[in-house]
Amino acid sequence: MTETIIKTASVKVMLSYDYSHFEASLSIENENGLTMQEIDEARKKCQRLADKAVGQYKVAKEVAAKRKNREYDIWRFEDTCQRIQAKDEQDRTVEESAMLKQYEDENWQAQFDYDYDYDDDDEYVL
């Protein structure tokens, strides 16, 4: 009895997370045949893609929430800095001094720019 040679294989992974659905699929082909290990590796790659999509979705939701609170965060930062400025310099903590230094930077509002477009930057990997 001869063993069947698998020349093409297709793998698909579907995930549901937070009422969203993520799907990834891959096809692999080799005229000389595919091993089960090669098919399993394709499945793992497909799973990693779906997991990555879920991770990026989580970050995007988090950034969207921050974006929604941007005006309040700016107001709170300015208010806190004004209270710190009212203190005597020797009474300020290291964190308060650092916050004031940041506030005096002409581009301090940039810290409240929450831009994210499903970037592949490791900074956002969960």
Percent of the chain residues topping a pLDDT of 70: 94
| Host H or E run for residue 16 | strand 8-17
- The SS3 call for residue 11 is strand
pLDDT digits (tens, 9 = 90+) for 74-111: 899 899 999 999 999 999 999 999 988 888 887 888 88
pLDDT digits (tens, 9 = 90+) for 112-124: 887 787 776 555 4
Domain spans of the chain?
1-68, 70-126
Please answer whether residues 108 and 100 qualify as being in contact, where contact means their C-beta atoms are separated by less than 8 angstroms: no
- The SS3 call for residue 125 is coil
Please answer whether residues 63 and 114 qualify as being in contact, where contact means their C-beta atoms are separated by less than 8 angstroms: yes
**The model scores a pTM over 0.85:** no
